[in-house]
Copies of this chain bind each other. A is one copy, B any other.
Amino acid sequence: MSTQGDAKPSAQWRPPYLLYLGNAADDLAIKTARGVAYWRPEWCVGQLRHPDCKPTLDLPDMSMAEAKDLGANTMLIGTANAGGTMAPEIVAAAIEALDTGLNVVAGLHHKLRENPDIVAAAQRNGRVLFDARDPAPGIPVGNGRPRAGRRLLTVGTDCSVGKMYTTLALERAMRQRGLLADFRATGQTGIFVAGAGVPIDAVVADFISGGAEWISPARHDGGWDLIEGQGSLFHPSYAGVSLGLLHGSQPDALVLCHEPTRRHMRGLPDYPLPELKPCLEANLVAARLTNPAVKPVGVALNTSGMAAGEAADACKRISDLLQLPCQDPVTMGVEAIVDQLLACFAN
């Protein structure tokens, strides 16, 4: 499941990673660590689990000192508490890692840099802290100016329908064909996978489109920037993020992501999911403001809640409806979507 390995990690906190799972109760709690281990196994030296940790990533269990000896540069706190709080054992583990000579990175709501003991440990050891929910300083307001290079953005009917997975699957498939393609991260897991990015839902509201422009600057090498989408134009809580991301990305190509068994918008039982056709059309209309030539190139269907035959039928139906390839990236890959992308942008 390795990629071509030319993602450019941040100059300040670098893999290889030790993935800290602590005393995670279930798989959901290690979602971030699992994403990193799945998409960047070559960056993951091992996992650190407390005795009562239930899930595993099937990486070697090791201590911080062992990880350091094996070349780890950074401990990634890959767990999430309810509320994103910083549990005392996480504080202790962060300090121990810093004292062991590792950098520490996390995507918790409560920031590493806001804990004075962790900050002091980083300073005395000359190590770097990084909070993935802290946008980098200096993100400008979006300027809307057309820029060189080609960009694809994943958009969704809802939150959490597979946009990050789809975007990374496209990167992998395109690189396997020898194409230049780089995943551009907009969420915390994606940032650890890419080693860089902007937590687009954490920037100040006026800078959403500017953040999208910042992570996908002009490129002149003929390659594609594959931008991780967030939320949905149809989610009443977060649509502003999705729209700013759409405008700032100036996408040439859109891939629509959908989870067909979902009954209502995530967290909002009274809001049904949008129909696929008007959802895609609304995204195209909005995208045309900054890139009138935008084209849809496929639908990524998360069919994890369906039987195999059912999933194939659903893909066929949607493909006919939208006249686009429709695949489940996990079970079917994304080759037909890449074919469509290349057919649409042959020159």
Instruction: Tell me the A residues contacting B by CB distance below 8 Å.
Output: 141-145, 200-210, 233-234, 236-245, 247-248, 265, 268, 270-271, 282, 285-286, 289-290
The answer on a CB contact under 8 Å between B289 and A236 is: yes
Report chain B residues within 8 Å CB of A143.
236-237, 268
Chain B residues with Cβ under 8 A from A286's Cβ? 239
Q: How far is the CB of A131 from chain B (nearest CB, A)?
A: 14
Bound complex: CA A278 to CA B237 (Å) = 24
Count the copies.
2
Which residues of B lie under 8 Å from residue A244 when comparing CB positions? 205, 239-241
> How far in angstroms is the closest Cβ of chain B from A118?
22
Asked whether A206 lies within 8 Å of B268 as measured between CB atoms, the reply is no
Asked whether A144 lies within 8 Å of B240 as measured between CB atoms, the reply is no
Given the interface contacts A240-B241, A241-B240, A243-B240, does A268 sit within 8 Å of B144 by beta carbon? Answer: yes
Query: When the two chains form their complex, are residues B247 and A236 in contact, meaning their CB atoms are under 8 A apart?
Result: yes
Minimal beta-carbon separation of A35 from chain B (angstroms): 20
Interface pairs (8), CB distance under 8 Å:
A142-B238, A143-B237, A200-B205, A202-B204, A205-B240, A205-B244, A243-B243, A271-B289
A243 to chain B: which residues have CB within 8 Å?
Answer: 233, 239-240, 243
Report the minimum CB–CB distance from A199 to chain B (whole Å). Answer: 9
Residues A239 and B247 in contact, CB atoms below 8 Å apart: yes
Are B268 and A238 closer than 8 Å at their CB atoms? Answer: no
- A205-B240, A236-B290, A239-B289 known; 8 new pairs, CB 8 Å cut-off, are A141-B238, A143-B236, A144-B236, A144-B265, A204-B205, A208-B240, A209-B238, A236-B247
